[in-house]
Structure 1
Amino acid sequence: MPEADSFPFQGSTYLGPDPRFAQWRASQPVVRVATRSGGHAWLVTRYEDVRAAAADPRLSREAAYAPGAAQFDGLFQPPPGMVASLDPPAHTRLRRVADQAFSPARIEAMRPRIRQTADDLLDDWAGKTPPIDLMAQFASPLALTVICELLGAPLDDRERFHGWVRQLAVVDGGQEAAAQAQAQLGEYIAGLVAAKRQRPGDDVLSALAGAGHAGDRLTDQELVVFGWTLLGAGFDSTAGQIGLSVLALLAHYPQQWKRLHAHSEEIPSTVEELLRGVNIHRSDTSGLPRIAMADIEIGGQVIPAGDAVFLAFTSANHDETVFADPRRLDFARDAPNLAFGHGIHHCLGAPLARIELCVALERLTQRFPGLCLAVAEPQLRWRVGDVNHTLLELPVAWPAPLSTATKE
């Protein structure tokens, strides 16, 4: 199979997966594909098969880090030791401690502060002449501020975090810069962990440092890895999803944008449909391989032990047997999506990401009901070689001066 047809594919966009996934869902739901690194892997494409595989303990994340395990070009592989990189029992222990720190009450308590941060950023638009870059002037600083407060890190360090995470997100080339950024970020978080050990604060990193029972608390290195995880997933993915969601609404569903101004109670269901239908993953998967620890049958296909398996969550979210007319955003859908995964590796930060997305749409639609793209969609610029579909910028404008009448 030539490189152009090797996984990850080139036909993926923010509006949906590569078109060949639809063909595979219909006729070959578990398909063996060549990879850019010269090997092969299996793609699981249907909703029910992806759900089942995500919960199957015979598919190991940890084995992807074993000596001699296959490496995959064009995909982001997080460092070993992250909760997403482990199997039980190590995963069970880390997840149990993390769940204590990420309690629903703690995460929900962040909502007012997230709303205030969003309004502060939008206040800054009042003295500016459109167009405004929504990514640089809203989505990125909102997500970065939330992560800084989550970690108890100084807000003045936001730009440093931004630079490090942007370097880490490049998967096509730039490995030397990514390794340097990983080392610098690890050193920074190690210092932050040491400070939290001595003087805990009212933040999640301090809570993680104190969570667990005697003899079961996280080590300094485990805390560093958790901090690394929160920055990578909590900032870049959330900021990217905010930008893509706004783009999808303004470019293709402007009436829904206007409707949310009058019906803010519909924002949570709108966010769920955007999570389902808007594709942040450039590879149409999470990019995290699982290794079959035994011969496994999925969707009628036997996958040999030792082979790599990728779960195509974006394809599953476009499965026609679950979501009618899947490429159309239907804001009245009620079928659960797999945007945050399933099983033991379901995204730890999903509740916080949902709050940030809801708050972002709430404040933007309340204060800017007439928001529109300032350039035609084909003129938008995208980052090249990134792990995600990431906008370089999202220029927006509005037809009338900013009104603060609706600000709460």
Structure 2
Amino acid sequence: MAEAPSEPVAFPFPDPPSVRELPPELAEIRDGAAVVEVKFPDGISGWMVTKHADVRKVLVDSRFSSKVMATAAAAMSETETGKLMNESLVGMDAPEHTRLRKLVTKAFTARNVEQLRPRIAEMVAELLDEMENLPRPVDLVKAFSVPLPVRVICELLGVPAEDQDTFHAWSNSLLGDWSQVVEKELATVSLVKYFGELITRKRENPGEDLITALIKVSEEDTTFTEREIIALSIGILSAGHETTANQISMFLVHLLHHRDQFDELRENPDGIPRAVDELLRFVPLTTTGGIIPRLTTAEVELSNGTVLPAGTVVMPAVATANRDPEVFEDGERLNLAREHNPHLAFGAGIHYCLGAQLARIELQEAFKAILERMPSVRLAVPESELRLKSASIIRGLEGLPVTW
């Protein structure tokens, strides 16, 4: 068994010097102990795993429970936010997760999502048309990165266009950091109320949207409750646009830093799908490098011999797993032509991201259009002036001034 540090390490780690960099502590852990005890802001201690093999084990091994973790959080907080987490897909284990995911995938199939590609391309073109009429420099975050996935996910769900700005504000609060307790709760209560009212309207006036499709599924299977539709809708809203919105801007910053690869991709747009997956691997999604913790339900041994007893909180550091030199050749280097790429950006196992294909389509269409229409795009300020959003677990920029 590997020797553990005598004291837990404070987590999350300090921000790195550049918006493109990971906290150096993550790589130090991965290439050293591989697993380390950390203390979270609420005072709870847990273990962070950083190697690809161990992170994947946390994501796929049933001994690492999402449900037990979510149930504990709900019991501790007694808030609507905690309850919702406990009732969502990310807070479930099999067989409950299997039942609910099977029901929602009837309405959210890969084929149905792929049929959205032409409409997503239209939205991309509309936003770039609007950008061209704005004085330069233009804030890409405000003008493009946020509006695109907000419009996509709201149209997918059947949320009226006039509510989209409010939805983004609620979602932003929902994904705030650990300290934003009041903001999270207010946003959750508002979203639960809103979706309950929207479901009532959709029952009376069905549309061609996901919520209507979920209502139809619930009418065919009475075990699928309205509360579950609400939890699913909120999960799809927050995970389905906040992540992609931040990835568009962060991906562009990395591409502009690697201008040779940007230009090569512009000359060979057929490589965009592979390039998007490489950017998903290379660019960290969260400010911490990790994702939702799990709780062990039995003793588990990790690859370096560390034994985690039952009842241990475990944080899987996807960001370092996606650069693990044992899995990715020259993993610390962005390589848009990378062929072997078993990244974990969308998770793994039963919690593999439901919207992975939708995210890929949005990112592919966004960069296809940017490369075609804005080949000379560049930062309008020094990279050192860019700032990460504060109070957010999703790693994104406050703004991204660009010109072309």
TM-score when normalising by structure 2: 0.92
| Aligned pairs (5 A) from 1:302-341 | 302-334=307-339, 335-341=341-347
Counterpart of 2:55 (choices 50, 53, 58) is 50
* Corresponding position: 1:187 with 2:205: no
Which stretches in structure 2 are left out of the alignment for 5+ residues? none
Counterpart of 1:297 (choices 289, 296, 301) is 301
Provide runs of 4+ in structure 1 moved above 6 Å: 1-4, 68-72
Aligned AA for 2:38?
V
Counterparts of 2:212 and 2:75, CA distance in 1: 36
Counterparts of 1:126 and 1:241, CA distance in 2: 22
Report deviation, 1:11. Answer: 4.3
Partner of residue 110, structure 1: 116
Higher alpha-carbon deviation: 54-63 or 325-334: 325-334
Higher alpha-carbon deviation: 206-215 or 307-316: 206-215
Partner of residue 402, structure 1: none
Provide the secondary structure at the position in 2 that maps to 1:25.
helix
| Deviation digits for residues 128-166 of structure 1 (CA, Å, limit 9, x no counterpart) | 221011111011110110011111111111111111112
Report deviation, 1:327. Answer: 2.2
Partner of residue 405, structure 1: none
* Corresponding position: 1:362 with 2:368: yes
Counterparts of 2:143 and 2:335, CA distance in 1: 29
Counterparts of 1:344 and 1:377, CA distance in 2: 38
Partner of residue 280, structure 1: 285
Partner of residue 403, structure 1: none
Counterparts of 1:141 and 1:208, CA distance in 2: 25
Report deviation, 1:353. Answer: 0.3
| Aligned pairs (5 A) from 1:6-405 | 6-11=10-15, 14-67=19-72, 79-211=85-217, 214-250=220-256, 252-286=257-291, 288-299=292-303, 300-334=305-339, 335-398=341-404
Counterparts of 1:33 and 1:260, CA distance in 2: 40
Counterparts of 1:294 and 1:138, CA distance in 2: 46
Counterparts of 2:311 and 2:74, CA distance in 1: 9
Counterparts of 1:3 and 1:351, CA distance in 2: 41
Aligned residue-pair number: 393
Provide the secondary structure at the position in 1 that maps to 2:86.
coil
| Deviation digits for residues 256-305 of structure 1 (CA, Å, limit 9, x no counterpart) | 2222322110111110110001112111111x111111111122111011
Higher alpha-carbon deviation: 318-327 or 9-18: 9-18
Structure-2 change in CA distance of 1:69 and 1:168 (3 Å): closer
Report deviation, 1:361. Answer: 0.2
Aligned AA for 1:6?
A
Pairwise CA RMSD of aligned residues?
2.3
Percent of residue pairs identical: 37
Provide the secondary structure at the position in 1 that maps to 2:106.
helix
Counterparts of 2:262 and 2:248, CA distance in 1: 14
Report deviation, 1:171. Answer: 1.4
Counterparts of 2:63 and 2:173, CA distance in 1: 33
Report deviation, 1:369. Answer: 0.5
Aligned AA for 1:258?
D
Structure-2 change in CA distance of 1:16 and 1:48 (3 Å): farther
| Deviation digits for residues 200-255 of structure 1 (CA, Å, limit 9, x no counterpart) | 221112112222684455211111111111111111111001110011111x1122
Higher alpha-carbon deviation: 3-12 or 337-346: 3-12
Native 8 Å contact 2:38 2:45 kept in 1: yes
Counterparts of 2:21 and 2:98, CA distance in 1: 33
Report deviation, 1:71. Answer: 7.2
Report deviation, 1:193. Answer: 1.3
Provide the secondary structure at the position in 2 that maps to 1:43.
strand
